[in-house]
């Protein structure tokens, strides 16, 4: 996994996850009401969110592919020649000043939920397959709100060998440091709102370490020129 990352990154990733996992014992899928009760705000406003993002998609605007925003993700984004598009609104507490204008009402909703650190729409073309991978940072939890789900065929995520089938307007919360993959075995696109929700970190030392790591990721996002790469004209 993460074959196009260098050896130093892999060593740091593995050490980092070992440290977090020694102190945090939660399953792959987590209870929404316990770990992210604010999900109700988004699900109650599902129609508003869907209306905004579908207008952008149907406008014909060119959405960047995941590996065009972060070339370190090419092994999962550009693996099969099928598009995985992104509409980024917020990355690690940094708002995308250009893109949020495309979804102003959704962005306003997200601004009201303080523990959301990243927010973007994920658009999978028909027959897109995202191979097994895992996130390197356990300080966040991944929330997905299904916006548009194929009506025919199998479209699912598999986290820690457990399948989940999306349902429109319904969210799911999982730990993306568990191995996971996505299969859109249909002839329709799948659209979801993806959020990184800040996890509560136990222990004084771990909170200091986590704060440092969060800022390091912010620095790398800026260094990677991610906001320019993810701009939608």
158 within some domain: yes
* Residue whose C-alpha is closest to residue 86's, from 107, 59, 57: 57
115 within some domain: yes
DSSP 203: S
- Determine the pLDDT at residue 2: 43
- Determine the pLDDT at residue 102: 97
State the pairing for strand pair 154-159/162-165.
antiparallel
- Which pTM value belongs to this model? 0.94
The answer to whether the CB of 152 falls within 8 A of the CB of 104 is no
148 within some domain: yes
Domain count, the chain: 1
Asked if pLDDT for residue 231 goes beyond 50, the answer is yes
174 within some domain: yes
2 within some domain: no
- Which residues, 6 or more positions from 126, have their beta carbon under 8 angstroms from its beta carbon? 82, 150, 184, 186, 187, 188, 189
70 within some domain: yes
Question: 117 lies in which domain range?
Answer: 7-229
Listing DSSP states for 67-108 in one string gives: HHH-GGGHHHHSSSS--EEEEEEEETTEE-TTGGGGSHHHHH
Stretch 121-132: mean pLDDT: 96
- Determine the pLDDT at residue 31: 98
Stretch 213-224: mean pLDDT: 94
Cα gap 216→126, rounded to integer Å: 35
Angle between helices 7-21 and 204-223 (to 10 degrees): 150
1 within some domain: no
176 within some domain: yes
pLDDT tens for 48-65 read 999 999 999 999 899 999
Three-class secondary structure of residue 180 per DSSP: strand
The answer to whether the CB of 92 falls within 8 A of the CB of 217 is yes
Q: Identify the CATH number of the domain in which residue 121 sits.
A: 2.60.120.330
């Amino acid at each position: 996994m993460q074959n196009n990352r260098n050896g130093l990154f892999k060593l740091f990733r593995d050490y980092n996850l070992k440290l977090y996992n020694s102190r945090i014992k939660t399953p792959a899928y987590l209870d929404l009401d316990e770990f992210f009760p604010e999900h109700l705000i988004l699900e109650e406003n599902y129609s508003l969110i869907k209306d905004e993002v579908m207008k952008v998609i149907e406008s014909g605007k060119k959405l960047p592919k995941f590996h065009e925003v972060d070339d370190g993700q090419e092994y999962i984004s550009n693996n099969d020649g099928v598009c995985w598009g992104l509409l980024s609104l917020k990355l690690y507490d940094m708002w995308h000043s250009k893109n949020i204008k495309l979804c102003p009402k959704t962005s306003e909703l997200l601004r009201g939920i303080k523990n959301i650190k990243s927010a973007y729409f994920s658009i999978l073309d028909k027959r897109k397959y995202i191979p097994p991978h895992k996130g390197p940072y356990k300080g966040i939890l991944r929330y997905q709100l299904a916006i548009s789900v194929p009506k025919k065929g199998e479209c699912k995520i598999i986290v820690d060998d457990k399948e989940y089938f999306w349902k429109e307007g319904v969210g799911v919360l999982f730990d993306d440091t568990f191995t996971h993959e996505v299969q859109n075995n249909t002839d329709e696109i799948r659209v979801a709102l993806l959020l990184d929700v800040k996890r509560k970190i136990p222990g004084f030392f771990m909170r200091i370490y986590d704060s440092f790591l969060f800022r390091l990721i912010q620095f790398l996002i800026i260094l990677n020129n991610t906001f320019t790469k993810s701009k939608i004209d």
